[in-house]
Amino acid sequence: MQHFVRVALAAVLAAAVAGGAAAAANAPEHVIKYRQNLMKAVGGHIGNVALLVKGQVDFADGLVTDTQAIVDLLGNAGIAFPEGTAEGKTKARPEIWQDRAKFDAALEDTIGKARALAMAAEGGDMAAVGAALGALGKSCSACHKSFRIKDE
Ligand code: HEC
């Protein structure tokens, strides 16, 4: 019996892996989930930077790691908003695809602010890091204001 269960489980896992590989990638609902996870991850790193800046935690290399992760993740954000992903469980506004140049410019601005934050983190001057963090937060909000549906 034990053996049967193990064999059956292995078969299910194999089918899941094979099925996953065979199914077409980038279905809209999965792309939407991907970009929401990406944004959540960016938010998590911002939260860590805030803890470090306030001195509520003190870890060598924490600032450099978290700020660089923000730069890397935002660098991938543009591809996560392809055409055809405006509908479904998403708070993305249709304006993203009606005025793509403005959306891309907003993202570029935020990436620039994230790079400035990462550079300040390398420098280690906490006042500069705090200022750069504030500027980054404003840039995130600017895009959300134009392109994300507000929470009720
Ligand atoms: C270029 C525009 C743009 C920029 C810049 C941007 N966001 Fe977003 N963000 C969005 C959009 C659009 C959504 C909604 C995505 C969806 O629901 O499909 C979103 C969603 C989110 C979410 C909610 C994710 C969820 O759980 O559904 C968080 C958190 C978030 N962003 C944080 C940030 C932070 C922090 C920054 C700045 C470091 C940032 N965003 C920069 C456009 C942007």
Inform me whether the pLDDT recorded for 1 exceeds 60.
no
Q: Which of 95, 148, 151 to mutate to test the pocket of ligand 1 (most atoms within 8 A of CB)?
A: 148
Q: Whose CA is nearest to atom 25 of ligand 1?
A: 36
The chain-wide mean pLDDT, for the chain, equals 92
Give 144 Cα–ligand 1 centroid separation in angstroms: 6
Q: Whose CA is nearest to atom 6 of ligand 1?
A: 140
Inform me whether the pLDDT recorded for 89 exceeds 70.
yes
**Rounded mean pLDDT of 81-103?**
97
Percent of the chain with pLDDT over 90: 82
Inform me whether the pLDDT recorded for 76 exceeds 60.
yes
Give 32 Cα–ligand 1 centroid separation in angstroms: 11
Cα–Cα dist 129/119, whole Å = 9
Q: How far is CA 132 from CA 11, 50, 55, 121, in A?
A: 52, 11, 16, 9
**Rounded mean pLDDT of 16-21?**
62
**Rounded mean pLDDT of 93-100?**
98
